[in-house]
Structure 1
Amino acid sequence: MKLTAVDTNTAEWERLPLPEIGAVLDRLPLVADPDTGMEVLKVVYKAGFTNPWHTHNCAHGIYVLDGTLSTHQGDYPAGSFVWFPEGGAMTHGATEDGDCTFLFVTNKPFDIQYVENVEGSHDLA
């Protein structure tokens, strides 16, 4: 069995354009499983960036490495792990105070659908 190892200090980052919201994120692919679609990425949200209301057909987790992850349900500092269930409407990004670097884990192929209005968004707990 061959291990997968990535030196995240020297690996080349990719740019991920999000044309729906006019943003570009920095990401570093770490591992992907072609059979399940599961993947792990290292991602940076720049200070003040928020990925607006959206849904995914996959569940995903965010492990905060540095900075603070700001979500529709609160802020989570470095060392926090936040799991977002499949299909739920959400927002997440970095606080105004600084960048947020995190590991992003999906359980199957990643997708994203932006939603204009989330009815009852204040009740999404």
Structure 2
Amino acid sequence: MMENLHNEIKLIAKDIHNMEWDELVKENTDIRMYEKKLLNDPDTGMLINYCYYPQGFITPWHIHDKMSHGMYVLEGTLYTSQGSFGPGSFVWFPEGIVAEHGAAAEGGATVLFITNAPFNITYLDQE
């Protein structure tokens, strides 16, 4: 019985070095960042992306009202509206928090981006 179970469940393994970057452009702007999709769970909507924020790139003020997300900093400095965090830091953004985040002005940031539900975002007007 256990042997059959082991054969049915497969692990997921990806080599980020052999994956192309997806370029994301915020609608009606020139704001860009890059990601490699590592996992998107069809049952929960949870996702994990390997992301690169170029130097000085900031995702403007926004809210995720139906999901929480975390970022594990691999390289560089992750800037957030509540502080900056270097390699080895894990930063969790609870559902409903209003925030901005991205790379510090001094250099880019590479992070693992993890959600607990399907991704959603609403940008806030800064008028």
Q: Same fold (TM over 0.5)?
A: yes
1:24 to partner: Cα distance: 2.1
State yes or no: 1:110 paired with 2:92: no
User: Residue 47 of structure 1 corresponds to which residue in structure 2?
Assistant: 55
User: Residue 12 of structure 2 corresponds to which residue in structure 1?
Assistant: 4
SS, match of residue 116 in structure 1: coil
Unaligned runs of 5+ in 1: 118-125
Hey, what's the Cα distance between the residues in 1 that align with 2:70 and 2:46? Answer: 11
SS, match of residue 13 in structure 2: coil
Percent identity, aligned pairs only, is 46
User: Residue 66 of structure 1 corresponds to which residue in structure 2?
Assistant: 75
User: Residue 91 of structure 1 corresponds to which residue in structure 2?
Assistant: 100
User: Residue 91 of structure 2 corresponds to which residue in structure 1?
Assistant: 82
SS, match of residue 61 in structure 2: strand
Cα-to-partner distance string for 1:61-92 (whole Å, 9 max, x where unaligned): 00000000000110000110000000110010
User: Residue 13 of structure 1 corresponds to which residue in structure 2?
Assistant: 21
Measured on the aligned residues, the alpha-carbon RMSD in Å equals 1.4
1:20 to partner: Cα distance: 4.9
1:21 to partner: Cα distance: 4.2
The structure carrying a bigger helix percent of its residues is: 2
User: Residue 123 of structure 1 corresponds to which residue in structure 2?
Assistant: none
Name segments (4+ residues, structure 1) moved above 2 Å.
Answer: none
Matched residue pairs, number?
A: 118
SS, match of residue 9 in structure 1: helix
